[in-house]
Structure 1
Amino acid sequence: MPDAASDGLPATLPPVDLLVVGGGINGAGIARDAAGRGLSVLLCEQGDLAGATSSASTKLIHGGLRYLEYYEFRLVREALREREVLLRAAPHIIRPLRFVLPHDPSMRPAWLVRLGLFLYDHLGRRERLPGSAGADLRGGPLGAPLRPGIARGFVYSDCWVEDSRLVVLNALDARERGAAVLTRTRLERAERAGGVWRAHLRLLADGALRVVEARALVNATGPWVEAVVRTRLNQASAKAVRLVKGSHIVVPRLFDGEHAYIVQNDDRRIVFAIPYEGCFTLIGTTDVDYTGDPAAAAISAQETAYLCRAVSRWFARPVTPADVVWSYSGVRPLFDDHSHGTAAAVTRDYVLDLDAKGGAPLLSVFGGKITTFRRLAEEAVGRLGPLLGCRAGPWTAGAPLPGGDMAGADFACFAAQAQARWPWLPPALGRRLAGSYGTRMERIIGGAAGLDGLGADLGGGVTEAELRYAADQEFACSGDDFLWRRSRLGLHLDAGARGAVAAWFARRNGTAGEECCAPSRLVTSTDS
């Protein structure tokens, strides 16, 4: 079956065991797990993979230190264990990150912070990440960017991730294990009929309607999960989501070094300041209850001011809204436990709602966080498998994602070997290709013996060879797909280069405009 919403699909598609609706991290993870257990799978996504919440995270694989204050010990333990699993699976896009936590005695006493970090060190397995420690911030590189008078703090470890690439790699692995992946394909409606789901899919590229029968259906549509249950499936559910908007800003780099900061705001929330894309700092996030269309989420002036104020309390160089070069917002579909607490206090745990009546199971995913997606997928397929006659057990814990199959999961060693193998690659380009594609960078370079062998350079080191790979292998079909989700090159390239990338996809798609059935745009960028 073709992998993009394109020509050649029959009016009635071949039946499948599992139809997964939603191409975010949970849908892609479930499709991958199910395909690896031998189930036939079709994944459909109305926009681009990771086009919504899954590309709008804080880019962290972390246990969630602050969740300890809400006694979410099971969630924190599971997330801490997943850090090491995912770090081994995708060392090219997931890397260790050391965090500095300056201490404010008026907020939380030092003994309480030390206790929290002790639990954080010991709740989950920790093999590759160093533990926490106290830090003297009166001198040296850790304290240098902070305001005078900040004397002490703590350091601990978590991981950084290219969130949207994590989604793409899961979808790619699912396809290579037999799944079909249809982007720009919207579920119009589905109904139970004769013990199966009969689903009607709209191909947004040409408006054509296709029908597929599936023995089970997974609703992994994130912020739209409730709406899909009610309006597309005509079902009722006792479960609900609480929509919470999280916004981030990107500013010119605030500090040297590869460590990050986690600072406490005067409302007791925490804000991260993370090295980003070499010459920037990523600051986030907010927690604001949200109503309306999740696709229309955008940062407000109040959120921008909040983030600037939060980090300016700690850094010697204040951050102002005028410093912001890019911002993005996403809507988190948090499971609504009807606690009526603040948005920041709502659980980040997930709930799987399984309705197996009529012999055609429906599993809807409520809540979750990017760190625990693999476990969520494992549990989801574990619950559906017996209903579909699948006896295969879990397998993803020890399986690398595409590009992650490098010796010892040692990215630094791999990157050095890649530079030695292709010495004609400019070092910055070599590092970027290694850090984006891992061992799959070989598929981009092919037999090229020099830069000329990669085709035309459209600007900033983006070559035709890389764009062909993104289109042929990674489901990209627009400039936005490549510039903001397959990469973050939209931050680095000038308007001319961004336009050249968009034009390349338009020529490939035979369209006059930049987009081929444009996905929901969740970013606001400004030319620099």
Structure 2
Amino acid sequence: MMAEHDTDILIVGGGINGAGIARDAAGRGLSVTLCEQDDLAGHTSSASTKLIHGGLRYLEQYEFRLVAKALAEREVVMRLAPHISWPLLFVLPHESHLRPAWMIRLGLLLYDSLGAGHRTLADSRAVDLRSHVSGVPLKSMYARGFVYSDGWVQDARLVVLNAMDARRLGADVRVRTRCVSARVEDGMWQARLLGADGQARLCRAKVLVNACGPWAGRFLGDVLSCDRHPRVRLVKGSHIVLPRVFEHNHAYIFQQPDRRIVFAIPYEDDYTLVGTTDLDYTGDPANVVIGTDEVRYLCDAVNRYFRTPVQPADVAWSYSGVRPLLDEDGNASAVSRDYRITLDHKQGAPLLSIFGGKITTYRRLAEEAVDHLAEVLQPERAAWTADGDPLPGGDFADAERLLAAWSQRWPWLPSALARRWLRHYGTCTETLLGEARAVGDLGEHFGADLYQLELDYLIRAEWARSGDDVLWRRTKLGLRLSSGQRNQVQAYVARMVPLLVDATAQAAGARSA
């Protein structure tokens, strides 16, 4: 057993909520330890539809407060992370037998007005699909449509950037580290953390935060032995990725006969992302996979609208996640995406738990969570993240101007690679490149535009510990590499993690000394 260390807050869970709380709390001068049993964003937070949006469909469920809150946060996220988020125009083809045109127009006007005062995006409008570019791939029966604005974000990268900023502010972030037990002694939480190296470490914390997402209820029951706690309803959402179905940059929102909606979104330049499903789930969230019925459902959704049909065999990749929602009766797609924060002192020391939520409102949730703890912990600083500095790499105003500056500074850097790095790392690209002065300095080439230098950066700076961490979360280059190339990446990361992680830890220790 390793020696114990003290912290103000121990956060269990490295998804978007845990990382957001860590950043907020560390920025208020509190000492923070975050542990995640797998990879940052390893589960639900990397399995979203990648949207930062108010949730147009929630208007039918009268979730006006949630929609308004999310629309305000949509603007904040795009300001904090301009490199990994951007506006996106959505096209809604009209089908009179599902919803009358006046109802859709009224809903979009309400959507616009709920975002008034925060919105920098374009207002909604009606379009003639017979002449609009978005009508070209659609079946001829769709003559009328509506266009509105929302935002897109690289979800897993949003989690990693929050964790990076938390670390910059002093937080101790530990991946592949599981909280196996926790109890209160002398008014402090005594937690046992088990790392990937098999070493157990003791952590003493004034406050314990349960940000375990789909495991929130299980953590309370199995690890903390809490007999009574809010129930979490697990809802499975699956997506498919197809070779590009349409050529333009608009996205689509499709109404289904069951009154659900499905998105079709331009994805990674050469693909189309289609999702999502909503199914109640009772298994282990770590083992969730798409079902054949879900693949068919999403293909049918595409075929209902587009001229060129797709088949399950066309699917290039798929992913599934389990959303932890507030437990309510009724259809899974109608369950509220709002969140609940509970603060319990019954254990003898504060226990804060997060239930529900959506990626768009993560910053607001984190701010409220730390506000709940202010009386106990007396932070040095008030809430700050709404108007604070951008996330790492987001300190620029104009992407095209930055790319032009890079082409002058690094004329040897391939333009496609520079653009991808801008959309992943922003100004942190300078750190990634280090002393590189030519393509040859990027090291071994693994395929597509993935080089050794980028892999080393992700291991040192972004907690990548496996090939999947790189290929499916930090980037989506798994789509572009063969199985053999993916295996080479996996082998390289496995070989280099012990070397680079130890070297980084030693360098950090030397700096602190």
TM-score band, normalised by shorter chain = over 0.9
Pick one of 476, 489, 496 that aligns with 2:477. Answer: 489
Give 1:6-405 correspondences, 5 Å limit: 11-124=2-115, 125-203=117-195, 205-336=196-327, 338=328, 340-357=329-346, 359-398=348-387, 399-405=389-395
Deviation at 1:506, TM superposition (A): 1.7
> What percentage of residue pairs aligned between the two structures are identical?
59
- Comparing 423-432 with 223-232, greater Cα deviation is found at 423-432
Provide the residue aligned with 1:450 in structure 2: 438
What is the letter of the counterpart of residue 349 of structure 1? D
Deviation at 1:348, TM superposition (A): 0.1
How far, CA to CA, are the matches of 2:101 and 2:347 in structure 1?
Answer: 56
Provide the residue aligned with 1:500 in structure 2: 488
Task: Check whether the contact 1:239–1:353 (CA below 8 A) recurs between aligned residues.
Answer: no
Question: Judging changes above 3 Å, is the alpha-carbon distance between structure 1 residues 321 and 358 closer, same or farther for their aligned structure 2 residues?
Answer: closer
Task: Check whether the contact 1:16–1:215 (CA below 8 A) recurs between aligned residues.
Answer: yes
How far, CA to CA, are the matches of 1:412 and 1:396 in structure 2?
Answer: 26
SS in 2 for 1:217: strand
Pick one of 474, 485, 509 that aligns with 2:462. Answer: 474
What is the letter of the counterpart of residue 400 of structure 1? P
Q: Deviations over 1:321-354 (max 9, x none)?
A: 1111111100000011x3x210000000000011
- Deviating beyond 4 angstroms after TM superposition, the runs of 4 or more aligned structure 1 residues are none
Deviation at 1:510, TM superposition (A): 5.5
How far, CA to CA, are the matches of 1:61 and 1:248 in structure 2?
Answer: 17
What is the letter of the counterpart of residue 313 of structure 2? A
Deviation at 1:142, TM superposition (A): 1.2
Task: Check whether the contact 2:29–2:380 (CA below 8 A) recurs between aligned residues.
Answer: no
How far, CA to CA, are the matches of 1:510 and 1:217 in structure 2?
Answer: 30
SS in 2 for 1:16: strand
Task: Check whether the contact 1:246–1:329 (CA below 8 A) recurs between aligned residues.
Answer: yes
What is the letter of the counterpart of residue 496 of structure 1? G
Q: Deviations over 1:183-204 (max 9, x none)?
A: 000110101111010001111x
RMSD: 1.3
Provide the residue aligned with 2:503 in structure 1: none
Task: Check whether the contact 1:36–1:174 (CA below 8 A) recurs between aligned residues.
Answer: yes
Task: Check whether the contact 1:385–1:391 (CA below 8 A) recurs between aligned residues.
Answer: no
SS in 1 for 2:102: helix
How far, CA to CA, are the matches of 1:237 and 1:423 in structure 2?
Answer: 62
How far, CA to CA, are the matches of 1:132 and 1:106 in structure 2?
Answer: 22
Provide the residue aligned with 1:523 in structure 2: none
How far, CA to CA, are the matches of 2:250 and 2:314 in structure 1?
Answer: 21
Task: Check whether the contact 1:247–1:286 (CA below 8 A) recurs between aligned residues.
Answer: yes
The TM-score with structure 1 as length reference comes to 0.92
Provide the residue aligned with 2:449 in structure 1: 461
How far, CA to CA, are the matches of 1:244 and 1:306 in structure 2?
Answer: 16
Task: Check whether the contact 1:100–1:156 (CA below 8 A) recurs between aligned residues.
Answer: yes
How far, CA to CA, are the matches of 1:437 and 1:29 in structure 2?
Answer: 18
What is the letter of the counterpart of residue 469 of structure 2? D
Question: Judging changes above 3 Å, is the alpha-carbon distance between structure 1 residues 108 and 429 closer, same or farther for their aligned structure 2 residues?
Answer: same
How far, CA to CA, are the matches of 2:214 and 2:403 in structure 1?
Answer: 37
SS in 2 for 1:234: coil
How far, CA to CA, are the matches of 2:361 and 2:345 in structure 1?
Answer: 24
How far, CA to CA, are the matches of 2:242 and 2:32 in structure 1?
Answer: 41
The TM-score with structure 2 as length reference comes to 0.95
How far, CA to CA, are the matches of 1:418 and 1:382 in structure 2?
Answer: 41
Provide the residue aligned with 1:431 in structure 2: 419
What is the letter of the counterpart of residue 40 of structure 1? S
How far, CA to CA, are the matches of 1:217 and 1:416 in structure 2?
Answer: 47
- Comparing 26-35 with 438-447, greater Cα deviation is found at 438-447
Structure 1 gap ranges (5+) = 1-9, 512-528
Deviation at 1:391, TM superposition (A): 4.8
SS in 1 for 2:379: coil
